[in-house]
Chains A and B, each alone.
Chain A
Amino acid sequence: MDITSDTHSQHISRQFNQELEELKTHLMAMGGLVEQQVQEAVKSLLDNDSRLAEKIRDNDRQVNDLQIQIDDECTRILARRQPAASDLRLVVAVIRATSDLERIGDEASKIARNALSLSEGNSHVKGLVEVRHISEHVRKMLRDSLTAFARFDTELAMRVVHEDKLVDDEYGSAMRSLMTFMMEDSRSISSVLNVMWVLRALERVGDHANNLAEYVVYLVKGLDIRHTAPEELDENMLKKP
């Protein structure tokens, strides 16, 4: 049975409604912070802004604190409410989602650290076009997966799942270009390696956004699609009422 975004506000216990609403609000706040971290980390790299990069690196603690706070809320709800059905799926989805958001935060920190390394060198940095392109793509995936979570929108979530393959392809192609740069000019190896780490981090952000989208499908439809090939997914979802 599919659920909607107001499903969790109809309990006889208003306190329980409130606890679940707060859980969703806090998850969205964490998502917003992580999204901003990724955006600013990429900006610090493209603008060669070391101060912004330092801020991103230091902000990671806030993301970690939010993960612990939200996981605590989930533990409390499990212990005190023993949720079932869609309530249980919400709590499980949130626990999984905080873990992915925290790791997206880590990837943003990695991007910021590489931006700091690059800002220390004097040479012209190659590969920034690829960084800009892939970062726009994965940021859209992240934004869409968070929107899908907020609206319990499985169609949007499925679009994110299908996007992940495209990001993987773009990442492969960008890596090949960067290797060409290294072969052409060995002095650029160090800076190109930094850009490669950044691209790798962005690709991982895409993977985590994909995971978030999969949790939305679990939350709304009760289907665990984590290890199902994307081409099989739509058919499966249609079968389930």
Chain B
Amino acid sequence: MQASLPKSAPGSSASDSAAVMHFATTESCLDINDFSLAYAGVPALQHLSLQVPRHRVTAFIGPSGCGKSTLLRAINRLHDLNESVTLSGNIQLEGRDIHAPQLNVAELRRRVGMVFQNPNPFPMSIYENVAFGLRLQGRMPKRKRDDTVEWALQSAALWEEVKDRLYRSAWTLSGGQQQRLVIARTLAVRPDVLLLDEPASALDPISTLKIEELIRNLKSQLTLVLVTHNMQQAARVSDYTAFLQGGELVEYGPTDSVFTNPRLQRTENYITGRMA
């Protein structure tokens, strides 16, 4: 299973290796190496290799079923309990294989937070939602916990809207606020990476813009990976864009060049809405 990525990107030459990008100026946070994943023997991801640079926003785009959410979930090991899933290759977080036997999965998920399409606040107060992860981590003085909750809510640009009703149910918040609450809950445990799976697709345009602004602000603190069907959103918020199709990485590069002058016809066809 040593197939390198250019083979999975027809139309590209070795020197033009569509997807393997090396970031001369930015160090990588996640290294995905020749990674393949199959559900019950049916391949969903095939020989993917890419580097996700630290403190940048990387977007995965592609048609439904292309494997972008599967890849995102693999980074958080959400496939662990699915016995029909088989993997090969590896994913490294800051140089360490996330599937290494000695690695603590709970610790991995603290370092790699995930936000889903539909906001999923827990049925408890706003405060308790954000403090949930902190409580799981063990005892912490109340003052310190309060400070962390406030910091997380401020980082998620929600503090001003909820500071007077921290002990009310999280379900009293609007959809956009709930999504930012979920992001605050993830931020509270100080992750290194935030995975966002269609974080704004269930939200109205104003809430969407708030989430996008939040993504932009958060990149000074952590590395973000965004899966989206909305290509304009990928173009607006990401620094790098990876285009996946049929479980293969087709093209990966700086968002500016992918959206103005993609190297491959398949990418051009997808982002401009042409027939394949």
Chain B interface residue bracket vs A: 20 to 34
B273 touches A85 (CB 8 A): no
**Quick check: is B25 within 8 A (CB to CB) of the other chain?**
no
Within 8 A of A (CB), among B226-270: 231-232, 235, 259-265, 267-269
Task: Give the residue of B231, B264, B272, B275 whose beta carbon is less than 8 angstroms from that of A86.
Answer: B272
**Quick check: is A102 within 8 A (CB to CB) of the other chain?**
no
For B265, the chain A residues whose CB sits under 8 A away are: 1
Query: Measured between alpha carbons, how far is A10 from B269 in the docked complex, in Å?
Result: 9
**Quick check: is A181 within 8 A (CB to CB) of the other chain?**
no
- Please name the residue on chain A nearest to B269 by beta carbon: A10
* Per-residue A-contact encoding for B195-235, CB less than 8 Å = 1, 0 else: 00000000000000000000000000000000000011001
**A10-B275, A12-B274, A12-B275 known; A86-B263 Cβ under 8 A:** no
**Quick check: is B162 within 8 A (CB to CB) of the other chain?**
no
A85 touches B260 (CB 8 A): yes
- Please name the residue on chain A nearest to B12 by beta carbon: A241
* Per-residue B-contact encoding for A78-104, CB less than 8 Å = 1, 0 else: 000011111111000000000000000
Tally of contacts, chain A with chain B, CB under 8 A: 47
**A85-B271, A85-B272 known; A222-B232 Cβ under 8 A:** no
Query: Measured between alpha carbons, how far is A82 from B231 in the docked complex, in Å?
Result: 10
**A11-B274, A16-B273, A241-B16 known; A85-B263 Cβ under 8 A:** no
Task: Give the residue of A13, A85, A241 whose beta carbon is less than 8 angstroms from that of B259.
Answer: A85
For B268, the chain A residues whose CB sits under 8 A away are: 1, 3, 85-86
For B264, the chain A residues whose CB sits under 8 A away are: 1
Task: Give the residue of B231, B261, B271 whose beta carbon is less than 8 angstroms from that of A222.
Answer: B261
A84 touches B231 (CB 8 A): yes
For B263, the chain A residues whose CB sits under 8 A away are: 1, 241
* Per-residue B-contact encoding for A1-41, CB less than 8 Å = 1, 0 else: 10100000011110010000000000000000000000000
A222 touches B272 (CB 8 A): no
**A1-B268, A11-B274 known; A82-B261 Cβ under 8 A:** no
For A82, the chain B residues whose CB sits under 8 A away are: 232
B260 touches A222 (CB 8 A): yes
Q: How far is the CB of B224 from chain A (nearest CB, A)?
A: 21
Q: How far is the CB of A126 from chain B (nearest CB, A)?
A: 50
Dominant secondary structure at the A interface? loop
**A82-B232, A84-B235, A241-B16 known; A89-B273 Cβ under 8 A:** no
B272 touches A11 (CB 8 A): yes
**A1-B268, A84-B231, A241-B16 known; A89-B275 Cβ under 8 A:** no
A84 touches B275 (CB 8 A): no
* Per-residue B-contact encoding for A201-241, CB less than 8 Å = 1, 0 else: 00000000000000000000010000000000000000001
Q: How far is the CB of B13 from chain A (nearest CB, A)?
A: 8
Q: How far is the CB of A240 from chain B (nearest CB, A)?
A: 9
Query: Measured between alpha carbons, how far is A89 from B271 in the docked complex, in Å?
Result: 13
B274 touches A10 (CB 8 A): yes
A13 touches B273 (CB 8 A): yes
Centre residue among B232, B259, B262, B274 by max chain A CB count within 10 A: B274
Query: Measured between alpha carbons, how far is A82 from B267 in the docked complex, in Å?
Result: 16
Query: Measured between alpha carbons, how far is A88 from B257 in the docked complex, in Å?
Result: 12
Within 8 A of B (CB), among A66-83: 82-83
Q: How far is the CB of B228 from chain A (nearest CB, A)?
A: 14
Q: How far is the CB of B189 from chain A (nearest CB, A)?
A: 37
Query: Measured between alpha carbons, how far is A212 from B231 in the docked complex, in Å?
Result: 30
| CB-CB nearest 5 A-B residue pairs | A222-B261, A10-B274, A84-B271, A84-B259, A87-B272
Other than the given A1-B262, A1-B264, A85-B268, 20 more pairs (CB < 8 A) read A1-B261, A1-B263, A1-B268, A3-B268, A10-B274, A11-B272, A11-B273, A11-B274, A12-B274, A12-B275, A13-B273, A16-B273, A82-B232, A84-B235, A84-B260, A84-B271, A85-B262, A85-B272, A88-B259, A222-B261
- Interface residues in chain A, defined as those with a beta carbon under 8 Å from any beta carbon in chain B: 1, 3, 10-13, 16, 82-89, 222, 241
- Interface residues in chain B, defined as those with a beta carbon under 8 Å from any beta carbon in chain A: 13, 16, 231-232, 235, 259-265, 267-269, 271-275
Q: Can you spell out 26 A-B residue pairs with CB atoms less than 8 angstroms apart?
A: A1-B261, A1-B263, A1-B264, A1-B265, A1-B268, A10-B269, A11-B272, A11-B273, A11-B274, A11-B275, A12-B273, A12-B274, A12-B275, A13-B273, A83-B272, A84-B231, A84-B272, A85-B260, A85-B261, A85-B272, A86-B268, A87-B272, A88-B260, A89-B260, A222-B260, A241-B263
